[in-house]
Amino acid sequence: MSTIDNEVVGSKKKRNRYPRSVVRNLKSIGETVKPRLLVTNISGADKPPGNNEYSPHWSYEDLISGIRNGTLLSGSLRINPRNFEDGYIKHPSGDSDVYISTLASRNRGLPNDIVAVMLEPKRNWRVFDSFVDESFRGVEDSKQKKKSRYITLEEFLKIQPTGLEKLVGSHLSQKIVQDLNSSSDPIDSSAKGYGTQTYASWWSIIQRTGHVVGIIQSLHSRAFIGNLQIPCNYQTPKKMTTKVDQNCDSTNSVCSRYINQPEVSCKSSAMCSWKNAVLTPTDTRLPRVFIPREVCPEGFQKSPETYKNVRFIGRITEWTDSNMFPQGELLRELSCDSSNLIQDETDRILVGAGFIWGVDAAFQFPDDVTESVHQSMNNVNAIHEKDSAFRKDFRKYCVFTIDPSSAQDLDDALHIRHLGPDEIKKLESNGHQNAFYEVGVHIADVSYFVKPDSPVDKEAAARATSIYLVHLCVPMLPRMLCEEECSLNPGEDKFAFSVVFTVTKDAKILTTWFGRTRIRSCCKLSYEDAQQFIDHPDKKWTSNDCIKVEQPYTILDVCNNVLELNNLATEMRRNRFQSGALLLDQVKLSFSLDSNKLPLGIAPYIPKQSNWLIEEWMLAANKSVAEHLAKYLPDSAFLRRHPPPSVKQLTEVSASLNLAGMNINVDSAGSTQSSICREASCKVEVGYHYSDTLVKLCNDFISDSSILEANLTTEMKTLDLNPVVESEKLPTRTLEHEARLLVTVALLTKAMNLAVYFCLGLLPSGLSPEHYALNMQLYTHFTSPIRRYADVIVHRQLSATLAREENDPEKAAWYLSTALPKEMTSVELQKQAEVCNSKKLSARLAGEESAELFFILFVKETGPFTEVCAVTAVLDRSFDVLILSCGLTRRVYLQNLNLKSYEFIPPQTAMGKITESGKLRLLWNRNSLDTTSTNSLISGDCSHYVTDVSKDTLPSCGCFSTEIRLFDVVRCSVSIDSCESVNDVSQNARQNTYVPKLLVTLLRSTCKQCNV
């Protein structure tokens, strides 16, 4: 899940990384850089002193004090990859982000860093462009081709004196105007207006702005991948006058993004006495970094042009407040062996996830960590019998695991049994009526083997999570632990930390017990195995059915237990969604690989009931542990919350969906779930899941080559958007209906915030610990300690609470031996929570990049093919599409289409609300080879272009005229972008670093009349 940041429309011209005013007076980028800054939105008191480029960072103590007394805000810094100048943090109110404009305002903060931000006075707050008079914006845009600054509230009040009053009402407008020098939020008594007039909420018009005063926690590794170049001013004759050209967008050299100067032969440039090379990151959110000449490769110093396509891994080593750009070092050269693309790109992906030494290093643990594991194992073996006496023994029960078929680290197991008459009677005497089952959720006891502050513990805390890529898993723990000693492998006695429930027949949990246990799994099931039991409940399973079960249990015993657990899980799931939980089910790719780890085939992953069985019992265990910790450790409980989505973003998405005919009520998670299910023709307690016939629907659509968009549009308009649901079975949906649902889910997901770990005692006042999507007041992660360090912390905290409750002093001391150190404060826990949050996000992005890499390789091997896509966004020179069968979103650029002309009709707004969605009108060339018109159009300055070409010369079928709107289902060609290839600049050039890129282009509809 990710938030929607304001972004610039993609076009042939690329946004500059820094405003040209930053480098207007740049004399020598190879030396200390002191350009003249244009910082219009920092108050005088906060401007850098003297000639410094940045304000000094506050001390850590002052930052914490400012956050506690409300002077400062804190948050994870986000930077827009499409516009380096745009930075954001979440505001505690959840209505709209705090905008941090310019490099100077970010004050050396990098993506994911936890920064302290001081809000600026309201006079400097940003007014969203859509509310600024278009004629004024036009003047600004003509002066600055890129929007290097925004319109402040103070400027807005001057150019549109009555504009604010019309939008928010005279009462609130007057209060805002009278308090421009304050940074406090306007008190919005009512956004509904007075009388019959409806007014917009102030935060949908004005955005808080701020600047970074310090970095609380540097979560970005400071390492990155980039290309090494010498400063371009050493490639320019000294007598040549450097002149700023506002229209320059060249990307041929590091400085030509800023300064328009002709290039000269790089051969002569090597003779210049440059002091620093420049390492330009491939991640556009990061600044360029100076690399001292003496640490550059000798070959680069002699012939820098031969390194044009070589990628290096570098790291920022110093960034003082007196230098605009940081200093850095080169760590290593990234391999560019075209014959081993998977290895090299996986190396790159893992660098982004924090493993700067690549794939091999990710699987290697330091010697002291390995030694620590061996020592831990020896200690455990020495006291095994004594420790076993403190554990409750569940080895006699039918315990089993259910995991992906490829799983090696089995960290959870289940058992279920019927309670005996005496047990039921005892429960009834304690007020627990109708008890029938005992269900055990058994989790690998990792914290017993990984002692606090041990070398392996420190390594696990730094890694924080395992990283799952398409073809491999980078473990958080050494394999000796995660795949052998801790893993709940079948047929072996194992130590577990368990949550045991007593449950009624209708899945109501009556009691919960926590404690350390001994278990022995009798069977390792895959999700597919468990699903076979669910799909064939009456089958007489035997030992010949290829599922090995350890005696005294049989495959039939395991089958019956799976069925009973599934029946309870189904009821629990139904109750959860009826109570207001939200499910946003997006398409996920599944790959089949050959022996060389190359993709043979792809398909959308279809979750089954067996997945939901495990999910429900894990959720129940996590919730119960969270409630227990919050009760006994109110100041330090390590929990997980899912903040509600930004009100502004969710409101905008809802408005767009409603205009397109999808009536989604986003007042709460439950109302959103109900709306989606209504549109999907399924019951709320079942939830919407994309069809398991999605691929077939797409193939059928593609095979009908005579389909016209006009016919498709008519069919979509006649859809019954509120059908009556008569059964729980998944309804038969058309492709168009499925596409609308998938786009709806994608847009809603994009508007959601990320769930985060936090320390309960440090949660700012006014914020709720609740998990929005799960609709749980308290939640944490307990069930995956092999792959998540957060769960290890939770296990240790649970041990501490059980020690408090234990009457046996020896057993209490035993529990305390694996608890958190007493000296670990809430502040330290919160710091670790931020590390876990950052690493979890990095791991997720690495997994997504890996899936994209293998999809690209699949396209590369199979050649271009046609996919069915649905439009998710319409911009002025491009539009975004969701590839339905694989869940990837890509941008389609008009410059790549064979168009005669196009027209962009922007969204229409009134009183801060969208009244009509934007759309594109495309006119295709009749001659398939004629691309001159479109290419010249895209490279021009017009954002709205209409040709005078007569449509009379085109066939009357309408196939040469296309409208692109939200939800439209279109056919697109998916191929590899050949334009990414870079030719060597000399015979001695190093190997090309060309990496295939995915190219998605719109296909024109055809029919018998025009298909000539």
Q: What DSSP element (H or E) covers 553?
A: none
Nearest to 467, CA basis, from 839, 218, 179, 864: 839
Highest mean pLDDT out of 55-64, 92-101, 246-255: 55-64
Q: Quick one: tokens of 14? A: 């690329």
pLDDT tens, 655-693?
999 999 999 999 999 999 999 999 999 999 888 998 888
pLDDT given at position 952? 53
CATH code given to domain 20-215: 2.40.50.690
pLDDT given at position 444? 97
Contacts of 514 (CB under 8 A, 6+ apart): 497, 498, 499, 500, 624, 625, 628, 798, 802
**pLDDT bracket for residue 178 (50, 70, 90):** very high
Residue with the larger pLDDT of the pair 1009 and 206:
206
Report the distance separating Cα 690 and Cα 392, nearest Å: 43
Q: What is the largest CA-CA distance in the chain?
A: 99
Nearest to 58, CA basis, from 70, 72, 37, 77: 72
**pLDDT bracket for residue 387 (50, 70, 90):** confident
**pLDDT bracket for residue 133 (50, 70, 90):** confident
Report the distance separating Cα 610 and Cα 149, nearest Å: 53
pLDDT given at position 136? 65
Looking from the CA of 195 toward its CB, the CA atoms found within 13 Å total: 4
Residue with the larger pLDDT of the pair 76 and 912:
76
DSSP string, 120-188: PPGGGPEEPGGGS-HHHHHHHHHH-SS--S--BHHHHHHHSTTHHHHHH-HHHHHHHHTTTT--SPP--
Res 84 pLDDT > 80: yes
Res 88 pLDDT > 70: yes
DSSP string, 810-868: HHHHHHHTTSPPTT--HHHHHHHHHHHHHHHHHHHHHHHHHHHHHHHHHHHHH--EEEE
pLDDT tens, 525-573?
999 999 999 999 988 888 777 789 999 999 999 999 999 999 999 999 9
pLDDT given at position 212? 98
Q: Where are the beta strands (DSSP E) in 925-1012?
A: 961-964, 969-976, 998-1002
Res 936 pLDDT > 60: no
For 253-283, letters b (16+ CB in 10 Å) and e give bbbbbbbbbeeeebeebbeeebebbbbbbee
What is the SS3 assignment for 91?
A: coil
Res 9 pLDDT > 60: no
Res 148 pLDDT > 50: no
**pLDDT bracket for residue 985 (50, 70, 90):** very low
In the chain, domain spans: 20-215, 223-354, 367-640+756-849, 647-745, 850-1002
Domains 20-215 and 850-1002 are alike in CATH topology: yes
pLDDT average, residue stretch 825-830 = 92
Q: Quick one: tokens of 508? A: 């109501």
pLDDT given at position 954? 66
pLDDT tens, 30-39?
333 333 233 3
Report the distance separating Cα 418 and Cα 400, nearest Å: 16
pLDDT tens, 923-934?
998 776 544 444
Residue with the larger pLDDT of the pair 316 and 729:
316
pLDDT average, residue stretch 566-583 = 96
Res 487 pLDDT > 90: yes
Q: Supply the mean pLDDT for the chain.
A: 83
pLDDT given at position 732? 57
Res 709 pLDDT > 50: no
Report the distance separating Cα 171 and Cα 611, nearest Å: 54
What is the SS3 assignment for 962?
A: strand
Report the distance separating Cα 128 and Cα 156, nearest Å: 10
Highest mean pLDDT out of 25-29, 52-56, 191-195, 639-643: 639-643
pLDDT given at position 25? 33
**pLDDT bracket for residue 704 (50, 70, 90):** low
823 φψ region: left (φ > 0), alpha (ψ -120 to 50), beta (else): alpha
pLDDT given at position 989? 53
pTM: 0.85
Looking from the CA of 995 toward its CB, the CA atoms found within 13 Å total: 20
Which residue carries 């027209």 as its tokens? 903
Answer for the pair 604, 617: CB distance below 8 angstroms, yes or no.
Answer: no
pLDDT given at position 403? 95
- Could you count the other beta carbons within 10 Å of the beta carbon of residue 72? 23
Residue with the larger pLDDT of the pair 269 and 845:
845
Nearest to 282, CA basis, from 146, 107, 86, 81: 81
Q: Quick one: tokens of 564? A: 């009973």
pLDDT given at position 451? 92
850-1002: which CATH topology? OB fold (Dihydrolipoamide Acetyltransferase, E2P) (2.40.50)
Helix boundaries (H) for 514-582: 527-535, 555-578
Nearest to 566, CA basis, from 531, 522, 523: 531
pLDDT average, residue stretch 689-718 = 65
pLDDT average, residue stretch 712-739 = 54
Domain 223-354 part of CATH 3.30.870.10: no
Nearest to 592, CA basis, from 405, 865, 343, 869: 405
**pLDDT bracket for residue 375 (50, 70, 90):** confident
For 311-330, letters b (16+ CB in 10 Å) and e give bbbbbbeebeeebbbbebbb
pLDDT tens, 421-458?
999 999 999 999 999 999 999 999 999 999 999 999 99
pLDDT given at position 346? 93
Res 858 pLDDT > 50: yes
pLDDT tens, 37-58?
333 343 333 556 667 899 999 9
pLDDT tens, 517-538?
999 999 999 999 999 999 999 8
pLDDT tens, 635-652?
999 999 999 998 888 988
Handedness of CA 185, 191, 195, 196 (dihedral sign): positive
Report the distance separating Cα 658 and Cα 679, nearest Å: 12
pLDDT average, residue stretch 966-988 = 72
User: Poorest-confidence range of 619-633, 739-753, 815-829?
Assistant: 815-829
Q: Quick one: tokens of 203? A: 């935060």
Answer for the pair 411, 443: CB distance below 8 angstroms, yes or no.
Answer: yes
